[in-house]
Protein backbone atom coordinates (compact mmCIF):
# COMPACT_ATOMS: atom_id res chain seq x y z
CA UNK A 1 0.00 0.00 0.00
CA UNK A 2 1.14 3.54 -0.69
CA UNK A 3 1.86 5.78 2.23
CA UNK A 4 4.32 7.53 4.48
CA UNK A 5 6.39 5.61 6.98
CA UNK A 6 8.07 7.24 9.93
CA UNK A 7 10.44 5.34 12.14
CA UNK A 8 10.87 4.74 14.92
CA UNK A 9 7.57 5.46 16.65
CA UNK A 10 9.28 6.18 19.97
CA UNK A 11 12.84 7.40 20.39
CA UNK A 12 14.85 8.18 23.49
CA UNK A 13 18.15 10.01 23.45
CA UNK A 14 20.51 11.54 25.92
CA UNK A 15 20.92 15.28 26.00
CA UNK A 16 23.69 16.47 23.71
CA UNK A 17 23.34 13.66 21.19
CA UNK A 18 22.24 14.16 17.61
CA UNK A 19 19.39 11.93 16.49
CA UNK A 20 17.93 11.26 13.04
CA UNK A 21 14.25 10.60 12.38
CA UNK A 22 13.34 8.67 9.26
CA UNK A 23 10.57 9.52 6.80
CA UNK A 24 9.94 7.47 3.67
CA UNK A 25 7.10 7.77 1.15
CA UNK A 26 6.16 5.61 -1.82
CA UNK A 27 3.48 7.96 -3.14
CA UNK A 28 5.78 9.53 -5.73
CA UNK A 29 5.22 12.92 -4.12
CA UNK A 30 7.56 15.77 -4.91
CA UNK A 31 6.97 17.78 -1.74
CA UNK A 32 7.81 16.63 1.78
CA UNK A 33 7.56 18.37 5.14
CA UNK A 34 8.57 18.03 8.76
CA UNK A 35 6.36 19.38 11.53
CA UNK A 36 6.75 19.54 15.27
CA UNK A 37 3.78 19.20 17.63
CA UNK A 38 3.86 20.34 21.25
CA UNK A 39 0.99 20.09 23.76
CA UNK A 40 -1.51 22.92 23.40
CA UNK A 41 0.06 24.23 20.20
CA UNK A 42 -0.66 23.79 16.53
CA UNK A 43 1.80 21.96 14.31
CA UNK A 44 4.77 24.08 13.35
CA UNK A 45 6.81 23.69 10.18
CA UNK A 46 10.48 22.80 10.65
CA UNK A 47 11.71 22.19 7.09
CA UNK A 48 10.16 21.44 3.73
CA UNK A 49 11.37 20.23 0.38
CA UNK A 50 9.64 20.78 -2.95
CA UNK A 51 12.01 18.66 -5.00
CA UNK A 52 15.01 16.38 -4.67
CA UNK A 53 18.23 18.09 -3.57
CA UNK A 54 16.36 21.19 -2.47
CA UNK A 55 14.91 22.15 0.90
CA UNK A 56 13.85 25.29 2.72
CA UNK A 57 13.68 26.35 6.34
CA UNK A 58 10.28 26.53 7.94
CA UNK A 59 9.26 28.57 10.95
CA UNK A 60 11.34 26.74 13.57
CA UNK A 61 14.39 25.36 11.74
CA UNK A 62 17.02 26.26 14.34
CA UNK A 63 18.66 23.16 15.78
CA UNK A 64 17.45 20.90 12.97
CA UNK A 65 18.89 19.72 9.67
CA UNK A 66 17.50 17.75 6.75
CA UNK A 67 18.57 16.19 3.46
CA UNK A 68 16.68 15.21 0.32
CA UNK A 69 18.98 12.99 -1.68
CA UNK A 70 16.16 10.76 -2.89
CA UNK A 71 12.57 11.59 -3.77
CA UNK A 72 11.28 8.96 -1.35
CA UNK A 73 13.26 9.99 1.70
CA UNK A 74 13.43 13.13 3.84
CA UNK A 75 15.30 12.42 7.09
CA UNK A 76 15.34 14.96 9.92
CA UNK A 77 18.29 15.32 12.27
CA UNK A 78 17.69 16.87 15.66
CA UNK A 79 21.02 18.30 16.68
CA UNK A 80 22.38 19.11 20.11
CA UNK A 81 21.78 22.78 19.28
CA UNK A 82 18.02 22.28 19.56
CA UNK A 83 17.26 23.59 23.04
CA UNK A 84 14.01 21.74 23.64
CA UNK A 85 13.92 18.68 21.38
CA UNK A 86 11.38 16.58 23.28
CA UNK A 87 8.27 16.65 21.08
CA UNK A 88 6.13 14.74 18.62
CA UNK A 89 7.45 14.96 15.06
CA UNK A 90 5.27 14.47 11.99
CA UNK A 91 6.37 14.03 8.41
CA UNK A 92 4.05 14.79 5.49
CA UNK A 93 4.12 14.76 1.72
CA UNK A 94 2.06 16.11 -1.15
CA UNK A 95 2.08 15.74 -4.92
CA UNK A 96 3.05 19.35 -5.33
CA UNK A 97 2.30 22.71 -3.83
CA UNK A 98 -1.32 23.50 -3.06
CA UNK A 99 -2.42 19.89 -2.98
CA UNK A 100 -3.64 17.69 -0.18
CA UNK A 101 -0.99 16.58 2.29
CA UNK A 102 -0.59 13.03 3.57
CA UNK A 103 0.88 12.49 7.03
CA UNK A 104 2.91 9.77 8.66
CA UNK A 105 2.20 8.22 12.05
CA UNK A 106 4.74 10.39 13.83
CA UNK A 107 7.80 9.87 16.02
CA UNK A 108 7.73 10.79 19.68
CA UNK A 109 11.21 11.91 20.70
CA UNK A 110 12.16 12.14 24.35
CA UNK A 111 15.50 13.58 25.34
CA UNK A 112 16.64 12.79 28.85
CA UNK B 1 -3.97 35.87 19.00
CA UNK B 2 -3.63 32.75 16.86
CA UNK B 3 -4.32 33.12 13.17
CA UNK B 4 -6.45 29.96 13.31
CA UNK B 5 -8.85 29.49 16.21
CA UNK B 6 -10.89 26.38 16.85
CA UNK B 7 -13.84 25.90 19.14
CA UNK B 8 -14.56 24.16 21.30
CA UNK B 9 -11.20 22.94 22.57
CA UNK B 10 -12.79 19.85 24.08
CA UNK B 11 -16.08 18.19 23.23
CA UNK B 12 -17.85 15.16 24.63
CA UNK B 13 -20.89 13.55 23.07
CA UNK B 14 -23.12 10.52 23.32
CA UNK B 15 -23.13 8.08 20.46
CA UNK B 16 -25.56 9.20 17.79
CA UNK B 17 -25.34 12.91 18.49
CA UNK B 18 -24.74 15.51 15.78
CA UNK B 19 -21.41 17.26 16.31
CA UNK B 20 -20.11 20.59 15.08
CA UNK B 21 -16.54 21.83 15.34
CA UNK B 22 -15.76 25.39 14.33
CA UNK B 23 -12.71 27.04 12.81
CA UNK B 24 -12.18 30.78 12.39
CA UNK B 25 -9.16 32.33 10.74
CA UNK B 26 -7.83 35.84 10.37
CA UNK B 27 -5.74 35.57 7.21
CA UNK B 28 -6.65 35.32 3.57
CA UNK B 29 -6.48 31.76 2.36
CA UNK B 30 -6.34 29.68 -0.79
CA UNK B 31 -7.56 26.52 0.95
CA UNK B 32 -8.59 25.11 4.31
CA UNK B 33 -7.90 21.59 5.55
CA UNK B 34 -9.62 19.47 8.15
CA UNK B 35 -7.41 16.77 9.65
CA UNK B 36 -8.08 13.96 12.13
CA UNK B 37 -5.44 12.89 14.63
CA UNK B 38 -5.99 9.59 16.43
CA UNK B 39 -4.64 8.83 19.92
CA UNK B 40 -1.57 7.14 18.45
CA UNK B 41 -0.63 10.42 16.81
CA UNK B 42 -1.03 9.69 13.12
CA UNK B 43 -2.92 12.28 11.09
CA UNK B 44 -5.41 11.66 8.33
CA UNK B 45 -6.54 14.34 5.94
CA UNK B 46 -10.35 14.57 5.90
CA UNK B 47 -11.10 17.49 3.61
CA UNK B 48 -9.46 20.24 1.62
CA UNK B 49 -11.85 23.12 0.87
CA UNK B 50 -11.65 26.39 -0.97
CA UNK B 51 -15.37 27.13 -1.14
CA UNK B 52 -18.80 25.72 -0.41
CA UNK B 53 -19.30 22.33 1.10
CA UNK B 54 -17.93 18.79 0.92
CA UNK B 55 -19.35 15.54 2.23
CA UNK B 56 -17.71 12.20 2.86
CA UNK B 57 -19.78 9.57 4.61
CA UNK B 58 -20.97 11.01 7.93
CA UNK B 59 -18.62 13.97 7.70
CA UNK B 60 -19.56 17.33 6.22
CA UNK B 61 -17.27 20.35 5.92
CA UNK B 62 -18.40 23.84 5.03
CA UNK B 63 -16.56 27.07 4.50
CA UNK B 64 -17.64 30.70 4.30
CA UNK B 65 -14.80 32.67 2.75
CA UNK B 66 -16.39 36.07 3.43
CA UNK B 67 -16.82 35.32 7.13
CA UNK B 68 -13.48 33.45 7.35
CA UNK B 69 -15.14 30.51 9.03
CA UNK B 70 -15.40 26.78 8.50
CA UNK B 71 -17.34 24.06 10.27
CA UNK B 72 -16.87 20.31 10.45
CA UNK B 73 -20.02 18.34 11.15
CA UNK B 74 -20.26 14.70 12.17
CA UNK B 75 -23.66 13.09 11.85
CA UNK B 76 -24.66 10.03 13.91
CA UNK B 77 -21.43 10.18 15.91
CA UNK B 78 -19.74 6.96 16.97
CA UNK B 79 -17.04 6.17 19.57
CA UNK B 80 -14.59 5.53 16.75
CA UNK B 81 -14.92 9.23 15.84
CA UNK B 82 -13.06 10.05 19.07
CA UNK B 83 -9.95 11.93 18.00
CA UNK B 84 -8.45 15.40 17.77
CA UNK B 85 -9.74 17.37 14.81
CA UNK B 86 -7.38 19.98 13.43
CA UNK B 87 -8.14 22.88 11.13
CA UNK B 88 -5.34 24.25 8.96
CA UNK B 89 -5.28 27.05 6.39
CA UNK B 90 -2.97 27.82 3.49
CA UNK B 91 -2.33 31.52 2.81
CA UNK B 92 -2.20 32.29 -0.92
CA UNK B 93 0.91 34.43 -0.72
CA UNK B 94 3.17 31.49 -0.04
CA UNK B 95 4.74 29.57 -2.89
CA UNK B 96 4.46 26.25 -1.10
CA UNK B 97 2.14 24.19 1.01
CA UNK B 98 2.92 26.13 4.22
CA UNK B 99 -0.07 25.47 6.42
CA UNK B 100 -1.08 27.38 9.54
CA UNK B 101 -2.60 25.02 12.06
CA UNK B 102 -5.17 25.43 14.78
CA UNK B 103 -4.55 23.80 18.14
CA UNK B 104 -7.22 21.17 17.59
CA UNK B 105 -10.55 20.09 19.09
CA UNK B 106 -10.47 16.95 21.21
CA UNK B 107 -13.65 14.94 20.67
CA UNK B 108 -14.75 12.03 22.83
CA UNK B 109 -17.84 10.08 21.87
CA UNK B 110 -19.23 7.75 24.52
CA UNK B 111 -21.41 4.70 23.80
Q: Is A2 on the interface with B (CB under 8 A)?
A: no
Q: Cβ contacts of residue B51 below 8 Å, gap of 6+?
A: B63, B65
Q: Give the DSSP letter of residue A47.
A: E
CB contact under 8 A, A98 and B30: yes
CB contact under 8 A, A43 and B88: yes
Residue of A nearest to B106 (CA): A40
* Residuewise pLDDT in 10s, chain A (112 residues): 669 999 999 999 998 899 999 999 999 999 999 999 998 888 999 999 989 999 999 999 999 999 999 999 999 999 998 989 999 999 999 987 667 889 999 999 999 8
Measured in degrees and rounded to the nearest 5, phi and psi for residue B106 equal -90, 115
Q: Give chain B's end-to-end CA distance (angstroms, integer).
A: 36
Q: What order of strands is seen across the sheet that includes strand A4-7? A: A4-7, A19-25, A76-78, A64-66
CA distance B5 to B17: 23
CA distance A82 to A89: 14
Cis-peptide into B46, omega within 30 deg = no
* Residuewise pLDDT in 10s, chain B (111 residues): 689 999 999 999 999 999 999 999 998 888 899 999 998 888 999 999 999 999 999 999 999 999 999 999 999 999 999 999 999 998 876 555 578 899 999 999 999
pLDDT tens-digit readout, A56-71: 999 999 999 999 999 9
Residue A69: half-sphere exposure toward Cβ, Cα within 13 Å: 3
Q: Is B2 on the interface with A (CB under 8 A)?
A: yes
Amino acid sequence: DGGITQSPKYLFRKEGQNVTLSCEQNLNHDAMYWYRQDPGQGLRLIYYSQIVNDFQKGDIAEGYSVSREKKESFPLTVTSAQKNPTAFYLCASSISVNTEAFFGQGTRLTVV
Amino acid sequence: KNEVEQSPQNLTAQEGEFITINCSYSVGISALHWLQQHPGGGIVSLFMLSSGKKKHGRLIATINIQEKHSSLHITASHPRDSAVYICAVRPPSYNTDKLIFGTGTRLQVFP
